[in-house]
Amino acid sequence: MRKDIDFPKSENVFLAAIQQWNDDFQENSWFVYLINNTNETLELVMAVSRAYGIISNEQRITGTFRHSFKEVAPNSITKLEMLENNVLQLNNEFVVSYFLNNKMFDKTFVFKTNSINTKALSDIPGTDFRGVLLK
């Protein structure tokens, strides 16, 4: 059972929502990036995302998206997905699991309702980007 598995604390692996120009939509869009701010390669990375919350007094839940990467290089950022403007008013949850030095790590990140906005920008470690950072 999951409760019987010892997951070490995930450190120096973050998520960030970064606003960038989107040629497909001809507007700025928010993209979520996985940031590996360690000196080690993350292996067998799995990120599962969904959004949930209440809009107009109705419970809303999006579909679940899964992203996997064989490796994520040390001190790098990897694009996970674009967040459509409609889901920014929901909680956006990302469960990230990976192996590092033959140990499995697991962490849940949640961008709270309306927390992804230009007023919440901060410097993203190891990059020249500004965005909404979750540690």
Confidence of residue 23 (pLDDT cuts 50, 70, 90): very high
Q: Kindly state the average pLDDT of the residues 43-68.
A: 97
* pTM beyond 0.85: yes
**Percent of the chain residues past pLDDT 90, beyond the cut:** 88
- pLDDT at residue 2, as a whole number: 62
Query: What's the whole-number average pLDDT of the chain?
Result: 94
DSSP notation for 20-69: EEETTTTEEEEEEEEEE-SSS-EEEEEEEEEEEEEETTEEEE---EEEEE
Q: Kindly state the average pLDDT of the residues 20-36.
A: 94
pLDDT tops 70 at residue 1? no
Strand partners, 25: none
What's the number of CA atoms in the CB half-sphere (13 Å) around residue 5?
A: 8
- Residue 72: exposed, middle, or buried by beta-carbon count in 10 A (0-12, 13-18, 19+)? buried
Q: Kindly state the average pLDDT of the residues 4-18.
A: 88
The pair phi, psi for residue 66, each rounded to 5°, is -125, 135
- pLDDT at residue 125, as a whole number: 85
Task: Give the other-Cβ count within 10 Å of 14's Cβ.
Answer: 21
Q: Which of 108, 111, 119, 109 is nearest to 89 (CA)?
A: 111
Q: Kindly state the average pLDDT of the residues 80-86.
A: 94
Confidence of residue 25 (pLDDT cuts 50, 70, 90): confident
**Percent of the chain residues past pLDDT 70, beyond the cut:** 96
CA distances (Å), 113 to each of 51, 88, 117, in order? 9, 6, 10
Domain 13-134: give its CATH superfamily.
Answer: Smr-associated-like (2.60.40.1600)
Give the dihedral sign, CA 37/80/19/73: positive
> Which amino acid, 40?
E
Q: Where are the domains of the chain?
A: 13-134
pLDDT tops 90 at residue 3? no
